[in-house]
């Protein structure tokens, strides 16, 4: 299925449906006006005729008819909202295809960690990041799960990655189902920081100690009975109406007393009611969907409880239905009045406690499964959108081999290269002039490794890699608050790399212009010693450098290989082809760039 065609066709379908709904909605709007006018006219007409029976009858009829039409109107508005969200979903798909995803508001900026082994250097989060390209999560659980797998908080085995590949490939083909998941989330969830607290509140509540509510229900039944007996007595004239008001005041005090330890719970649920509804519908989608891949089946098992035959779908729907009665317990006048007569708060607390007693121990697992499906569905955008990408082969050997590898974030602008690091070769030294593509190529390799470990396809014709702990040192800067210079910041990152190597980790490193903050002699010596130390510890990787003398290492050590990028000139203008070549760089452009900046190199200077 062609992604571009799919997104465009769906946008056109939704727009046509919205036009249809607008016409129907306009007709309903006029119907509401006509019914309202008839209501006023009938009341006036029969009142002037002094016929209260017909006045009340016709008045009731038109009010009921008006409410029915309002209900229909609201359904049409809900349908319109769904189509508007579908347009947003498909337009986001087009932005991914067109390379305009960097305009997405959610950049995952709170996950930026300059001390992480690779995420900061490889633009995993933040502006123009891999997170922006992939993320379509609609739940906080899904967003957190996506951030964790992008950061590799847990290291998967080659077998697990293979299972994830099959799962992501399967979800990639279920594009309509994935869009339903997004739709259900966007209809109800406000993706703000507040939802993080809502998710945590829900988890904490499910694990909290249960409250004894049996005696409270008995007290509530007694006062409800007293209240209705008093109302009947008032109607037949044996009790003054003022006593009813006094009784309702007593009811208010009793309700507050019986629910004093649950006020925060009721308030919290009045706020997160839409979120719970969305969770309920998403989990129902997951439970109802048939999946073939082993990994997806394992996740689905988290929402099943074979022992007690509990259906996550039914129980979450039940929780959502309970919450439908919560209302705005802090400000809704209708709710407060109803509460005084039927003690709804007491029964809500009772129902919530019963639900928690039965399902609380499973809720965490259900939400975890929902988050994993949400995250994997986001990753599954890649095989659907970029059908020219291919799944990598993850092996036990220490190799990185790729044919026509491209930078995933650059899209069609990426220049593709073939790269091989295998057998006895441990380190590739990449030289080249300024702006020739060295740093971009390092990120190209790094990002495709990250995608490989996600179980996602990579931007390459073929890609084969070993399982590594990825370490980078590419983008260091001063930290004035901690009195750290950029050079010292670089030293700290190198220290982490060396410590990882000493611990016996299978390390793949990407080092860009190392030790650039010191003099040329120290830089050359330090780089040479570091490279040898890393190779001796079993680490492999790429090092970009302007230090051409470092290329002499290839002559003395067959574990090191030189490759380069270069520039060329047309009409005295510098140009780059960004193609990786064998050997050391034989070109330089610093003087040319300085001249372009206006620096005048004269003989007497």
pLDDT (tens digit per residue) in 365-409: 999 999 999 999 999 999 999 999 999 999 999 999 999 999 999
Which numeric CATH code is attached to 393-596?
Answer: 3.40.50.300
Residues 73-79, mean pLDDT to the nearest whole number: 80
Token pair, residue 74, equals 């609201």
Domain boundaries, the chain: 3-98, 182-383, 393-596
Specify the pTM: 0.85
pLDDT value, residue 192:
45
> Is the pLDDT at 589 greater than 80, yes or no?
no
Between vectors from CA 63 to CA 59 and to CA 65, what angle results, nearest 5°? 120
Give the model's confidence band at 483: pLDDT under 50 very low, under 70 low, under 90 confident, else very high.
very low
pLDDT value, residue 264:
76
Q: How far is CA 503 from the centre of its chain?
A: 33
pLDDT value, residue 57:
75
Could you tell me which residue, 538 or 433, shows the higher pLDDT? 538
Q: Which of 493, 487, 551 is nearest to 522 (CA)?
A: 487
- Using a 10 angstrom Cβ sphere, with 0-12 exposed, 13-18 middle and 19 or more buried, the burial of residue 61 is middle
Give the tens place of pLDDT for each residue, 221-277. 888 888 888 877 877 767 776 777 888 888 888 888 887 777 778 878 888 888 889
Contact 33, 62 (CB under 8 A): no
Kindly report the average pLDDT of the chain as a whole number: 85
How do beta strands 400-405 and 417-421 pair? Answer: antiparallel
Least confident interval from 18-32, 87-101, 155-169, 426-440: 18-32
Q: Which of 149, 211, 74, 37 is nearest to 452 (CA)?
A: 149
- Using a 10 angstrom Cβ sphere, with 0-12 exposed, 13-18 middle and 19 or more buried, the burial of residue 542 is buried
Task: Print the SS3 string covering 565-601.
Answer: CCEEEECCEEEECCCCEECCCCCCCHHHHHHHCCCCC
Q: Where are the beta strands (DSSP E) in 17-159?
A: none
Helix (H, G, I), strand (E, B) or coil at 541: strand
Per the listing, tokens 């008839």 go with 38
Contact 166, 293 (CB under 8 A): yes
Nearest-angstrom CA–CA distance, 263 and 280: 24
> Is the pLDDT at 172 greater than 60, yes or no?
yes
pLDDT value, residue 546:
82
Of 260-269, 467-476, 518-527, which has the strongest mean pLDDT? 467-476
Give the model's confidence band at 40: pLDDT under 50 very low, under 70 low, under 90 confident, else very high.
confident
Contact 362, 283 (CB under 8 A): no
Give the model's confidence band at 598: pLDDT under 50 very low, under 70 low, under 90 confident, else very high.
low
Could you tell me which residue, 384 or 51, shows the higher pLDDT? 384
Nearest-angstrom CA–CA distance, 319 and 279: 10
Nearest-angstrom CA–CA distance, 535 and 501: 9
> Is the pLDDT at 481 greater than 60, yes or no?
no
Q: CB-based contacts of 207: which residues, under 8 Å, 6+ apart?
A: 360, 364
pLDDT value, residue 601:
62
Could you give the dihedral angle defined by the CA atoms of residues 233, 238, 240 and 244, in that order, rounded to the nearest 10 degrees?
-20
What percent of the chain has a predicted confidence (pLDDT) above 90? Answer: 43
């Amino acid at each position: 299925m062609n992604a571009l065609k799919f997104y465009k066709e769906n946008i056109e379908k939704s727009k046509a449906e919205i036009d249809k709904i607008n016409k129907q909605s306009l007709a309903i709007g006029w119907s509401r006006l006509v019914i309202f006018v008839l209501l006023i006219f009938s009341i006036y007409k029969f009142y002037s005729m002094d016929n209260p029976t017909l006045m009340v009858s016709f008045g009731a009829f038109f009010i009921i008819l008006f409410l029915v039409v309002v209900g229909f109107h609201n359904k049409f508005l809900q349908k319109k909202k769904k189509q508007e969200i579908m347009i947003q979903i498909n337009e986001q798909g087009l932005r991914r295809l067109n390379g305009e995803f960097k305009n997405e508001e959610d950049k995952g900026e709170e996950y930026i960690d300059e001390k992480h082994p690779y995420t900061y250097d490889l633009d995993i989060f933040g502006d123009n990041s891999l997170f922006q390209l992939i993320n379509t999560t609609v739940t906080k659980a899904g967003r957190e799960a996506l951030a964790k797998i992008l950061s590799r908080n847990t290291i998967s085995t080659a077998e697990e990655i293979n299972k994830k590949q099959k799962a992501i490939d399967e979800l990639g083909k279920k594009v309509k189902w994935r869009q339903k998941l997004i739709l259900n989330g966007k209809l109800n969830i406000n993706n703000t920081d507040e939802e993080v607290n809502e998710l945590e509140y829900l988890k904490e509540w499910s694990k909290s100690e249960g409250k004894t509510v049996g005696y409270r229900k008995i007290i509530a039944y007694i006062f409800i009975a007293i209240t209705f007996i008093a109302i009947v007595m008032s109607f037949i004239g044996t009790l003054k109406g003022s006593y009813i008001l006094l009784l309702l005041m007593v009811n208010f005090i009793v309700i507050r007393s019986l629910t004093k330890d649950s006020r925060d719970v009721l308030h919290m649920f009045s706020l997160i009611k839409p979120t719970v509804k969305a969770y309920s519908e998403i989990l129902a989608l997951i439970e109802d969907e048939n999946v073939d891949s082993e990994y997806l089946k394992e996740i689905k098992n988290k929402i099943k409880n074979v022992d007690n035959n509990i259906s996550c779908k039914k129980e979450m729907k039940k929780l959502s239905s309970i919450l439908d009665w919560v209302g705005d317990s802090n400000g809704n006048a209708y709710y407060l009045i109803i509460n005084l007569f039927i003690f709804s708060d007491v029964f809500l607390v009772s129902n919530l406690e019963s639900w928690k007693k039965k399902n609380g121990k499973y809720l965490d697992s259900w939400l975890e499964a929902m988050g994993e499906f949400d995250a994997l569905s986001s990753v599954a955008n890649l095989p659907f959108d970029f059908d020219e990408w291919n799944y990598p082969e993850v092996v036990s050997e220490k190799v990185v081999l790729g044919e026509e590898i491209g930078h995933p974030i650059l899209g069609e602008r990426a220049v593709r290269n073939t790269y091989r690091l295998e057998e006895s070769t441990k380190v590739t030294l990449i030289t080249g002039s300024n702006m020739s593509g060295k740093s971009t190529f390092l990120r190209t390799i790094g990002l495709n490794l990250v995608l490989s470990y996600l179980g996602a396809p990579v931007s390459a014709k073929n890609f084969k890699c070993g399982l590594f702990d990825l370490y980078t040192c590419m983008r260091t800067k001063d930290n004035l608050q901690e009195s750290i210079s950029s050079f010292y910041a670089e030293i700290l990152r190198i220290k982490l790399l060396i410590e990882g190597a000493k611990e016996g980790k299978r390390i793949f490193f990407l080092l860009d212009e190392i030790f650039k903050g010191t003099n040329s002699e120290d830089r050359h010596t330090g780089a040479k010693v570091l490279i040898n130390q890393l190779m001796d510890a079993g680490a492999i990787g790429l090092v970009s450098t302007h230090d051409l003398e470092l290329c002499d290492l290839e002559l003395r050590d067959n574990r090191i290989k030189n490759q380069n990028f270069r520039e060329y000139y047309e009409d005295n203008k510098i140009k780059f082809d960004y193609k990786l070549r064998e050997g050391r760089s034989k070109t330089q452009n610093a003087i040319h760039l300085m001249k372009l900046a206006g620096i005048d190199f004269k003989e007497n200077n």
